[in-house]
Amino acid sequence: MRTDDRRIRVAASAAACLIVLVAGACGGGAAGPPPANQPSASQPSASQSSASPSRSPRPVESPAPGDHQLALDWDGQERTYELHAPPSYRPGRKLPLVVVLHYRGGDPAVMRAMTRFDAKADAAGFLVAYPVGLDGAMNALICCGSNDDVGFVRSMVEHLTRSWGADPARIYATGISNGADMSFRLAVEVPGMFAAIAPVSGGLTGARATDDASFKPSRPVSVVSFIGNDDRIADTLEIGLRAWRAKLGCPEGRAVWVDPGKTVNRTTARCADGTAVVGYTINGMGHAWPGSSNAGLGDTRRKINAVDVMWEFFKAHRSAG
């Protein structure tokens, strides 16, 4: 064999070996899939996953007035929420906290625009937290998913109490539709955390909520509810409110009109545990938030402003501790 031919064949053999080496085998047979007990490149092991986080490190929280995008790890997932602190906020000063829960398909942005809760917080001096539901909803009484949203909200409130100065005696929850249902679930399943809740166009729904006598708060929680008379689920929501009153021993008072045009009536019940249940029924309103902007499910035509009414109600109630 000529020297030039030998050099060509040696070079070709080395190149072939180099290719096989890159593929993962040279001199050991053809490369194949990894053994069953070894992770593939597209399926990293748990240790690889923990060593290579998929998200950037979170910025350090700096409690201060203004708007903040916050997150925490819960139930194996990153959960996010927005927090508004009023201009009067100062670290170390205890302020009330209102948790505002969006409807299915909503988000903090639409809730902020719809309710104008931030402006109320600035005027009255309290914190507002807007949790984000996974896939646009919370795992409330009859919907949605199987996430531990009760644990998420509880963890969020505990963090805001510990790090932002939220007053444990003045923690409140409100929401609309799916968020309203969630406020009732929180009242029952996180005893002692919420002094009062304010469900809007939502409520105590589902067989467990209405038929299970044990599904009630073990610690006092007052309720102010807003239901549109033209809401397609108004009857269901009224049944739920009656079930709540029955479980807690709250005789319903006489309904009174709160506006000259007789479009809004109110009932007040005093309960055996010292709490109150106040129900507003708004004639002509559907599945909406009364007295708000027209964003989201807002209804600007009603003779009642839900945020103003619920804040006055919240101020009158504190947790016993």
Pick the most confident of 3-7, 44-48, 57-61, 125-129. Answer: 125-129
Q: Can you tell me the distance from the alpha carbon of 189 to that of 179, in angstroms, rounded to the nearest whole number?
A: 15
Q: Which domains does the chain have, with CATH numbers?
A: 63-315 (3.40.50.1820)
DSSP class of 229: T
What is the C-alpha separation between 318 and 321, in angstroms, rounded?
Answer: 8
Closest CA to 103 of 178, 174, 182: 178
Q: Terminus-to-terminus CA distance in the chain, angstroms?
A: 96
Kindly report the pTM of this predicted structure.
0.81
224, 239 Cβ separation under 8 angstroms? no
CB atoms within 10 A of CB 216: 17
- Collapsed DSSP state (helix, strand, coil) of residue 265: strand
The verdict on whether omega for the bond into residue 144 sits within 30 degrees of 0, i.e. cis, is: yes
Q: Which of 16-25, 201-210, 254-263 has the lowest mean pLDDT?
A: 16-25
Phi-psi region of 92 (alpha: psi -120 to 50; beta: other; left: phi over 0): left
Q: Are 297 and 176 in contact (CB under 8 A)?
A: yes
Give whichever of 31-40, 167-176, 297-306 has the largest mean pLDDT: 167-176
Q: Which pLDDT band, with edges at 50, 70 and 90, does 57 fall under?
A: confident
Which residues on neighbouring strands pair with residue 95, listed in sequence order? Answer: 166
Residue 85 has what pLDDT? 98
Is pLDDT of 73 > 90? yes
Residue 60 pLDDT: 81
Q: Which residues pair with 197 in a beta bridge?
A: 173, 223
307 vs 57, which has greater pLDDT?
307
Is the confidence at residue 11, as pLDDT, over 90?
no
